[in-house]
Amino acid sequence: MDENMSANQQPEQVAKDVVVSIEYTLKVEGEVVDYSDRDEPLEYIQGHDQIIPGLESALAGMAVGESKEVNVSAADAYGEMDNEAMVQVDRSDFPEEVPMEIGTQVQVRNMDGHVLDARIAAIEGDQVTLDFNHPLAGKDLLFNVTIVALRNATEEEIEHGHVHGDDMEEEFDDDDFDFEDDEDEDDEFEEYDEEDNEAENN
């Protein structure tokens, strides 16, 4: 075979450094919780930790047009529930505008200055339990995936570990410029300090 031709060939199956386009539906406990937008498949580079490991390994070797049902156990997805990620906070630490309802999502700044997502998991008297676990922690995930397209990643994409757009515009992203992460948003509601909190509970 012509060398030039083999170098430019589209990959025939999902393998490392291949840009994979997938359509997917994600079900948890029988309910659809996520799916790819119509006409806009999810694109990722195989072998670069861009999607959960249990799904990535199940897709290896698949060809365009193939579909598969993939069951990923919690441990290979977002991990098991971590009881240490449940933290009690005084109700008075919340600003008034935060609804005191189970399921309310809040953002909390920790000691390192990182903003973390949490949900109100319980309210008892003036004690509010915040759950810092990922919303899908402890859940088994059922994906229905169809491979829509495969192409070889460019050297730049492999170096960056993510897919670049296919238009001619220059790509701007965190790896191209040294921007800080946008963690200084002003919607966190308190200076959160886990050690202080534990001390208060003792």
Total residues binding Zn ion (CB under 5 A): 3
Smallest distance, Zn ion to C-beta of residue 174, A: 8
Contact assessment for residue 76 and residue 53, using Cβ atoms and an 8 Å cutoff: yes
Smallest distance, Zn ion to C-beta of residue 39, A: 24
Smallest distance, Zn ion to C-beta of residue 7, A: 23
Smallest distance, Zn ion to C-beta of residue 159, A: 8
Q: CB-based contacts of 129: which residues, under 8 Å, 6+ apart?
A: 86, 87, 88, 89, 120, 121, 122, 123
User: What three-state secondary structure class fits 20?
Assistant: strand
**Binding to Zn ion in span 43-72, by CB under 5 A:** none
Q: Residue 66 and residue 147: Cα distance in Å, rounded?
A: 6
Cβ proximity to Zn ion, 69 vs 175, nearer residue: 175
**Binding to Zn ion in span 173-202, by CB under 5 A:** 173, 175
In the chain, the amino acid numbered 84 is E
Cβ proximity to Zn ion, 175 vs 184, nearer residue: 175
**Binding to Zn ion in span 119-178, by CB under 5 A:** 160, 173, 175
Total Cβ atoms within 10 A of residue 99: 11
Cβ proximity to Zn ion, 21 vs 133, nearer residue: 21
Cβ proximity to Zn ion, 90 vs 175, nearer residue: 175
Q: Residue 60 and residue 15: Cα distance in Å, rounded?
A: 6
Residue closest to 85 by CA, chosen among 141, 135, 29, 123:
135
Cβ proximity to Zn ion, 124 vs 172, nearer residue: 172
Residue closest to Zn ion (Cβ):
160
Q: Where are the alpha helices (DSSP H) in the chain?
A: 3-8, 53-59, 155-160, 194-201
Smallest distance, Zn ion to C-beta of residue 172, A: 8
Cβ proximity to Zn ion, 157 vs 188, nearer residue: 157
Please give the residue ranges that form the binding site for Zn ion (CB under 5 A): 160, 173, 175
